[in-house]
Structure 1
């Protein structure tokens, strides 16, 4: 305990008087223990009654250094200060608390014996990770080798260290040459050993230190695994027509990073079991577009787009990948795709609207013949009483009209026709069907006999044979012709 000099007192007493007793100084409250985070501010309070002419001093016990006496600073630390409220309270202030400020502080009165009380200051320090140059640089190994990572952290209280992968995948631990393995999301400890390492173990690993004092801190370690390049071609044969654009692709794995190229019309030259690329190296331009799409830390997709294919563009293409550990190639064959000529499908037949029955004004007027001319015509040998029907369209022909004479001569010969479905056929005159009749579904072929002649006042006969679908309108047409002929004769 630091001893302060006792004050010297001169007391004069008169004869027969006893000196009065002075009350001794006393502490009214204990000195509190304080715990603060590094960088904060803290104050110790010392309350003393009946101090009188005594003095209050502040002392750091572990170093036995006098910090202040009464309201005067002894130490030259700018972060320390002392205050007095003018009555019975003294305070020691510590600003921007640091680790070396932790320890025991004493409020002391220079009585005989000395009176004092003590309080401790605890400083909480957030975690901090120490720099380790070896861990920062030596994080690469060949496939099948080992990588050792170390993460040292300090803080108060002592921080805990946890490892995890940045991409949230499991950390894989292999033993016995890789024959046994375990995996976990996290691993506790300052060191992490990855043995029998594989390319899938590549990536970023995080070391996280925490001790309950914010903030937690982390450090990023990049693990590299080196191996010979690998190429996979999913579509080794690609076909495309002339004038089109085509896309060729190669999947590549390599570490360290490889140089990737495309070649066309190449030949493989085998030297000591390794293929060497021979051919024209393709360059980026209007004809060729090249792109590399990263898939992981060690894998990517090579893409080659060939624009406006010509005959000379067809052939063999190669994708090549080269790094410090080796070289590999992949083949893609591009061949012409012959497209069948385009044909136009026939348009479906449409339904024509049924024609209206012609009126009396629409019927063609026949020229009236003289009586002598009619007689000569009737006496003919089977000549037609009416003109033969006109031909319809290119796909139909109507039968001719029947003849007539005084003795009932035989009728004219029949005709044949084919009709497309849903088509309205314009009838020929005579025995052709009336214009208001519309053929519906199906195609029909028919033959019909002409109307028979009739004598004076007698009716003619009609007959017909239908092939395919029955066409009763032909029979009706023949009968109509015979009826018209008989009516004309009655007028005569």
Structure 2
């Protein structure tokens, strides 16, 4: 009876050994997707079975080409010489644990645990390592826009980083967007028909909860024909005095500005002095000084502004008045007359003091 039991045990042992020998190597467990911050530590676990006669390796896969994939370890030994990488093997669970410290952006990717059975046959499992990265604006995003009034505008903004950033649009000083509201969300900001009031600085803002986010300034220049406004359409001045006629011009590109009287273009001479003051790229104040007015200089004056998109004009009427208008008739520091006035006033004051002094002595 004992002999028969020994035979049974022997047969079962042979059967089990044979069964184990016929079992294929398998990967019983691999870590799930790992999401880590830059500078952190990640551990990737791979548990295997029936691999006594085979090599187990870790590799970082290259999505573009398997030939560029990076071998990291074989068995319980590291191949990659990088102090941030380490490997430990737990024989009780037959688990290979790959650890990466001080994670960098370049460590993000797909890691593969593989059992090599032959040159053409292997068992593999993969785990994704994602590294949280602050957002950055991609180079294919819009940098600046120059369009004519009435045209359609399509501004684009794309960003990288992990998690995938969300894009929003704003204007300088939180001004209202042409699409309505002060914030627009999406990769594209479309304006069907842009107006000159829509020009200015737009912000493409990318945020993903990592860091403070980032933004790009997009300068939007709108070309439009000149708009001429006249602050004072009718001005009176007495004969033999100077008078300033003014126009305000709004245009982009900057226009050519001229003054006319009786269809004759005026220039700087002993009768007229023309000045232009650029307040900004789109705004110019122009002044025509009529010098020592004569009868023939009364009438209508036109200030004209023209650029490639069109032209506009404003009319100022100069008429005769009895009483001189100050300024500029009585002088102003703006035109360099203040020093003359202050000198004359001082001379009169001194003369008065001398007279008072003489009268006082005569009475004594």
Q: Which runs of 5+ in 2 are unaligned?
A: 1-29, 46-55, 63-68, 89-96, 116-125, 325-364
CA shift digits 1:409-448 (9 cap, x unpaired): xxxxxxxxxxxxxxxxxxxxxxxxxxxxxxxxxxxxxxxx
* CA distance in 2: counterparts of 1:292 and 1:140, whole angstroms: 22
* Alignment partners' CA distance in 1, 2:238 and 2:265: 24
Contact 1:171 1:185 in 2 (8 A): yes
Shift of 1:323: 0.4
5+ long unaligned stretches in structure 1: 1-29, 47-56, 85-89, 109-117, 174-182, 269-277, 341-492
1:211 and 1:324 map into 2 onto residues whose CA distance is: 44
Give the structure with the larger strand fraction: 2
| SS of alignment partner, residue 219 of structure 1 | strand
Residue 207 of structure 1: how far off its partner (Å): 1.4
Matched, 1:267 2:267: no
After TM superposition, the score normalised by the length of structure 1 is 0.43
What displacement does 1:240 show?
3.7
Tell me the equivalent position of 1:195: 192
Deviations, residues 105-144 of structure 1 (Å, cap 9, x unaligned): 87x9xxxxxxxxx9974301222222237x446651442x
SS of 1:200's equivalent? helix
1:155 correspondence with 2:126? no
Cα distance in structure 1, aligned partners of 2:188 and 2:139: 14
Shift of 1:149: 1.5
- What is the 5 A alignment of 1:56-75? 59-60=58-59, 66-68=71-73, 73-75=78-80
C-alpha RMSD of the superposition:
4.3
Measure how far apart 1:210 and its partner are. 0.8
Contact 2:149 2:193 in 1 (8 A): no
Which residue pairs with 1:290 in the alignment?
276
Partner Cα distance (1:252, 1:288) in 2: 14
Separation in structure 2 between the aligned mates of residue 317 and residue 80 of structure 1, nearest angstrom: 81
Task: Name the counterpart of 1:456.
Answer: none
Match of 1:124 in 2: 132
Q: Within 5 A, what are the aligned runs for 1:51-450? A: 59-60=58-59, 66-68=71-73, 73-76=78-81, 78=82, 80-82=84-86, 92-95=99-102, 97-104=104-111, 121-132=129-140, 135-136=142-143, 139-143=146-150, 145-173=151-179, 183-241=180-238, 246-261=243-258, 263=259, 266-268=261-263, 278-282=264-268, 289-294=275-280, 298=282, 300-304=283-287, 306=289, 309-312=291-294, 314-315=297-298, 316-339=300-323
What are the equivalent positions in structure 2 for 1:464-479 lying under 5 Å apart?
none
Change (3 A) 1:227 1:101: closer
1:168-226 alpha-carbon deviations (Å, 9 max, x no partner): 221234xxxxxxxxx21111111111113322222222211111112412223333333
Partner Cα separation in structure 1 for residue 314 and residue 232 of structure 2: 11
Q: Quick one: structure 1 residues 320 and 65, their matched pair in 2 at CA, closer, same or farther if it must change by over 3 Å?
A: closer
Cross-structure match for 1:406 = none
Q: Residues 279, 75 of structure 1: CA spacing in aligned structure 2 closer, same or farther, 3 A cutoff?
A: same
> Quick one: distance in 2 between partners of 1:282 and 1:138?
38
How many Å separate the matches in 1 of 2:44 and 2:195?
62
List per-residue Cα deviations over 1:13-60 (Å, max 9, x = no partner): xxxxxxxxxxxxxxxxx999864334x3536599xxxxxxxxxx9834
* Higher relative helix content: 2
Residue 79 of structure 1 contacts residue 95 of structure 1 at CA under 8 Å; is this kept in 2? Answer: no
Partner SS for 1:339: coil
Partner of 2:36: 36
In 1: Cα distance, 2:31 partner to 2:312 partner: 77
Q: Which has the larger radius of gyration?
A: 1
Higher RCO (C-alpha under 8 Å, 6+ residues apart) = 2
Q: Provide the rounded CA distance (Å) in 2 between the counterparts of 1:305 and 1:256.
A: 22
Distance of 1:80 and 1:59 partners within structure 2: 15
- Offset at 1:97? 0.6
CA contact (8 A) 1:153 1:209 kept: yes
**Contact map agreement 1:41 1:95 (CA 8 A) in 2:** yes
**Superposition pairs for residues 8-23 of structure 1, below 5 Å?**
none
